[in-house]
Amino acid sequence: MDEKRELLRHTVASLAYRAARALEGAPEEFAEFNGAGHQPVQILAHMSDLFDWALSAVQGREKWHTSKPHGWLQEQQRFFAALHAFDAYLASHEPLYVAVEPLFQGPVADALTHVGQIAMMRRLAGCSIRGENYFVAEIKAGQVGAEQPAAAQPFR
């Protein structure tokens, strides 16, 4: 596998890790928090749409679809399933029909921004997440599910 594709897989795993931290322990009512623009459940649905689209692009059949958000838990499952499908394609020997750079600068960077939005919204909603040192986090390519290793160095 080429280095760019490997780095993109690590970036997707980093996104999964950060998203899992931003989502874990969020109360159900947080899904519809209205204090900062779009609701968290809408943002999460958009993030899933980004990776459904990214997968269609790398497969050479690019198609965008804007989904109507469902329940909070269902959207979390959908997001990690979309990440898994995208990562599985990247891990395969199938050709990429788009370059790695626009994948990074488009859907991946957009989703990283949205994870930050959700983390910020958690604080605004009064259910903040605990910070940690992401530099030492146990992040590995292919580790893209909601279940992630424990924080190596959480902030006190």
pLDDT (tens digit per residue) in 5-26: 999 999 999 999 999 999 999 9
Question: For 21, how many CA atoms within 13 A lie in the half-sphere containing its CB?
Answer: 25
| pLDDT exceeds cutoff 70 at 1 | no
Mean pLDDT of the chain: 95
Instruction: Find out whether 69 and 41 touch, Cβ atoms under 8 Å.
Output: yes
pTM (two decimals):
0.94
pLDDT tens-digit readout, 78-125: 999 999 999 999 999 999 999 999 999 999 999 999 999 999 999 999
Q: Tell me what percent of the chain is helix, strand and coil, each rounded to the nearest 5.
A: 60, 0, 40
Reduced to 3 states (helix: H, G, I; strand: E, B; else coil), residue 17 is helix
Q: DSSP for 76-136?
A: HHHHHHHHHHHHHHHHSSPPPSS-HHHHIIIIIHHHHHHHHHHHHHHHHTT-PPPPB-GGG
The correct CATH number of 3-136 out of 3.50.50.60, 1.10.287.110, 1.20.120.450, 3.30.70.1340 is 1.20.120.450
Handedness of CA 48, 49, 54, 60 (dihedral sign): positive
Residue ranges covered by each domain of the chain: 3-136
pLDDT tens-digit readout, 26-69: 999 999 999 778 999 999 999 999 999 999 999 999 999 999 99
Identify the residue with better confidence: 128 or 47: 47
